[in-house]
Amino acid sequence: MNKFLLTLALLTSTSFAFAQYGWTKAEVTLKNGTVLEGEASLAMMSNGINLGKEKLKFRKNKKDKKSKYLPKEVEQIVFTVTYKEKVGRKKVEKTRIENYIPVYLNKKQSKLGFVELMVDGNLRLVGRTVAVQSGGGWNGATGAPGAAPVYMPGYMGSHNQVMFLKEGEKPQIFNQVSLTKSFRKRAMDYFKDCPTLKNKIDKKEFIKEDLQDIVKFYNSSCN
């Protein structure tokens, strides 16, 4: 998410680590039912390379000892993000709730990683921000040459991997931009099991900026 991405440190001579979330107010629910309240941090993984190495860092406060949790140990993370938005001539402080869940990110369903749950239902819309390698180094969701296409949701923020997720399946990346097919053609193909939605996309009643509404329509009208 552009506003919250921070470069952490040079880890090796060839790669950088990025923060998807610096220390942010969060409520973490573990698989064993334990609920942790305090601050959490998620590092940004590099695309494909760090698959399976993701960890959540948690602390109650700045002075408290940090704990680390693997995705398999976490049920969900609820971040409370504070930001400033210009309203008229003033900057007003606002908060936004973002819910992260662990999902399998590979075909064998053996590697878990964290994604933001943007739309829930039989078909879920999830997103994550990863660092991708360009000619001169590593980029986050910057939209710079070499970076993955950036999806801009309705709120402030962005992900460069937006995915459809069905129970028991690997998430399918479905960014707004593709080098091979237009969004409309890809969406019509994906939603061919729902003629009503396919027709709406064909007639451009739904466009690429409406991806969240497209998934909500599918869940309410195509099942």
Residue 194's pLDDT is 95
What is the pTM assigned to this prediction? 0.77
* 3-class DSSP state of 150: coil
90 pLDDT above the threshold of 80:
yes
pLDDT greater at residue 1 or residue 98: 98
In angstroms, the CA 120 to CA 41 distance is: 23
Residue 18's pLDDT is 42
74 pLDDT above the threshold of 50:
yes
In angstroms, the CA 40 to CA 217 distance is: 33
Mean pLDDT of 108-135: 83
In angstroms, the CA 137 to CA 11 distance is: 13
Mean pLDDT of 157-185: 80
Mean pLDDT of 106-125: 87
Q: Measured at the alpha carbon of residue 26, what is the angle toward residues 219 and 37, in degrees to the nearest 5? A: 120
* 3-class DSSP state of 8: strand
CB-CB contact of 39 with 26 (8 Å):
yes
Handedness of CA 67, 73, 75, 76 (dihedral sign): positive
pLDDT greater at residue 192 or residue 12: 192
184 pLDDT above the threshold of 70:
yes
Residue 88's pLDDT is 86
151 pLDDT above the threshold of 80:
no
CB-CB contact of 147 with 140 (8 Å):
yes
Handedness of CA 57, 111, 178, 99 (dihedral sign): negative
The identity of residue 184, as a single letter, is R
The tokens for 201 are: 């996309």
Strands 90-104 and 74-87: antiparallel
Q: What does the domain layout of the chain look like in residue ranges? A: 2-175, 178-223
83 pLDDT above the threshold of 90:
no
